């Protein structure tokens, strides 16, 4: 492989981004270990979308799968970015929260289950408002609970990215894996442009957007732990290696991040390049 021409290496890749959520979960888990819970034929759909004239999906856009990671029991929650922007509603959010809570219960009983979140989501589903937000809060609580027992691994591959309340879920993970195509941020670029105007942020300027919230920048500034090519096997290998590491979650590195924020002048915020120097990975407390 290493002697192959760059285009041959590129062609040999099996794109993870192009996979729908179910195939992503299958690609992460050990071969033939994928077993879906609450699948499409259970028809656990959103009761709220049809009331608002929106067609529901039979799995509400979240795939929960049990299986194995490097031979160890695991559970994967994969969000389908193509359905309603990967938005988290009452049902989809409860599926993720419920899966994580069951994993936590198993961990507490001495049967560790490795949780993996494949996040491709704009955040809460606006049509389901507080019900989605409540589920997202449950997801956050479950991640924090699980972290005491096992590493919680998050993956943001793209092209939706991970925004809103689910960006907090990503930030709470023990290890966060991104690709260069990923985006991670609180408010999405379109929302910022709509709220603060095009002079604040031009959401059509992709180079600018990715320089701010793209996977490469998030990794270079210590807000993501690993950056991987868009290759299903490379991402699966990175997940398998992440579950073997005991990581100190970013949200427990309070002093480190307060120190980093102290270097920022909000009246004169640094350019993306300057932030990489200011928040160089070496200073990120082990990240």
Partner 1 sequence: MEVLNFTYPARQPVSRRVHVGVVGSGDLEVLLEPSLDQHAHVAVTTSVDGFGAVWKIVLDRFFSRFAGAAAIEINDFGATPGVVMLRLEQAVEALRT
Partnered with residue 69 across adjacent β-strands are 72
Q: Which of 153, 151, 92 is nearest to 121 (CA)?
A: 92
Question: Which residue in the set 39, 47, 73, 272 belongs to the binding site for partner 1 (CB under 8 A)?
Answer: 39
- DSSP for 191-231, please give it: HHHHHH-TTT--TT-HHHHHHHHBHHHHHHTTSSSEE--S-
Out of 33, 57, 187, 253, name the contact with partner 1 by CB under 8 A. 57
- Separation between Cα atoms, residue 177 and residue 184, nearest integer Å: 11
Interface with partner 1 (CB under 8 A), residue total: 16
Cβ at position 92, least distance to partner 1 in Å: 12
Length of the chain: 287
The yes or no reply on residue 15 touching partner 1 (CB under 8 A) is no
User: CA 43 to CA 272: how far, in whole Å?
Assistant: 45
Q: In this complex, which beta carbon is closest to partner 1, that of residue 69 or of residue 88?
A: 88
Judged by CB under 8 A, the stretch of 57-65, 122-130, 204-212, 257-265 that binds partner 1 is 57-65
Nearer to partner 1, 132 or 214 (CB): 132
Kindly tell me which of 41 and 267 has the beta carbon lying closer to partner 1.
41
- Buried-exposed string 27-66: b where 16+ CB fall within 10 A, e elsewhere: bbbeeeebebebeeeeebbbebbeeeeeebbebbbbbbbb
**Cβ 187 vs Cβ 194: under 8 Å:** no
**Distance of alpha carbon 7 from alpha carbon 211, whole angstroms:** 25
- Per CB under 8 A, does 35 bind partner 1? no
Rule CB under 8 A: choose which of 20, 47, 112, 145 binds partner 1: 20
Choice from 58, 194, 204, 248 touching partner 1 (CB under 8 A): 58
- In whole angstroms, the minimum distance from the beta carbon of 39 to partner 1 comes to 7
For partner 1, give the closer residue by CB, 15 or 58. Answer: 58
Q: Does 47 bind partner 1 (CB under 8 A)?
A: no
In the complex with partner 1, which residue's Cβ is closer, 78 or 104? 78
Kindly state the smallest distance separating residue 19's Cβ from partner 1, in Å: 11
Contacts to partner 1 from residues 71-110, by CB under 8 A: 80, 82-84
The least distance separating partner 1 from the CB of residue 156, rounded to whole angstroms, comes to 19
State the DSSP string of 79-101: E-TTSGGG-B-HHHHHHHHHHHH
Residue of 55, 261, 277, 278 that binds partner 1 (CB under 8 A): 55
- With beta carbons less than 8 A apart as the criterion, state whether 27 and 232 touch: yes
CB-wise, 96 or 220, nearer to partner 1?
A: 96
Contact 222, 281 (CB under 8 A): yes
Rg of the chain, C-alpha, whole Å? 19
What does the binding site for partner 1 look like in residue numbers (CB under 8 A)?
20, 39-41, 50, 53-58, 61, 80, 82-84
């Amino acid at each position: 492989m290493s002697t192959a021409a760059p285009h041959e290496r590129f062609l040999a890749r099996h794109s993870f981004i192009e996979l729908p959520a179910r195939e992503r979960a299958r690609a992460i888990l050990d071969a033939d270990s994928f077993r879906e819970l609450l699948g499409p034929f259970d028809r656990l759909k959103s009761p709220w979308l049809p009331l608002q004239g929106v067609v529901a999906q039979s799995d509400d856009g979240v795939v929960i799968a049990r299986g194995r990671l490097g031979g160890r029991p695991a559970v994967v929650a994969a969000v389908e970015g193509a359905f309603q922007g990967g938005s988290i509603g009452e049902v989809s959010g409860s599926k993720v929260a419920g899966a994580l809570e069951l994993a936590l219960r198993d961990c507490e009983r001495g049967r560790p289950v490795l949780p993996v979140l494949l996040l491709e989501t704009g955040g809460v589903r606006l049509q389901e408002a507080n019900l989605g937000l409540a589920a997202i809060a449950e997801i956050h609580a479950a991640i924090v609970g699980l972290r005491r027992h096992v590493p919680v691994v998050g993956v943001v591959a793209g092209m939706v990215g991970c925004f809103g309340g689910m960006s907090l879920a990503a930030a709470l993970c023990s290890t966060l894996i991104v690709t260069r195509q990923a985006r991670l941020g609180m408010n999405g670029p379109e929302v910022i442009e709509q709220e603060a105007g095009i002079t604040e942020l031009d959401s059509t300027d992709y180079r600018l957007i990715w320089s701010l919230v793209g996977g490469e920048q998030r990794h270079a500034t210590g807000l993501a732990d690993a950056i991987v090519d868009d290759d299903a096997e490379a991402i699966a290998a990175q997940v398998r290696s992440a579950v073997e590491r005991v990581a100190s979650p970013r949200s427990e590195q309070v002093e480190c991040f307060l120190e980093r924020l102290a270097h920022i002048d909000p009246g004169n915020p640094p350019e993306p390049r300057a932030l990489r120097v200011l928040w160089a990975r070496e200073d990120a407390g082990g990240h």
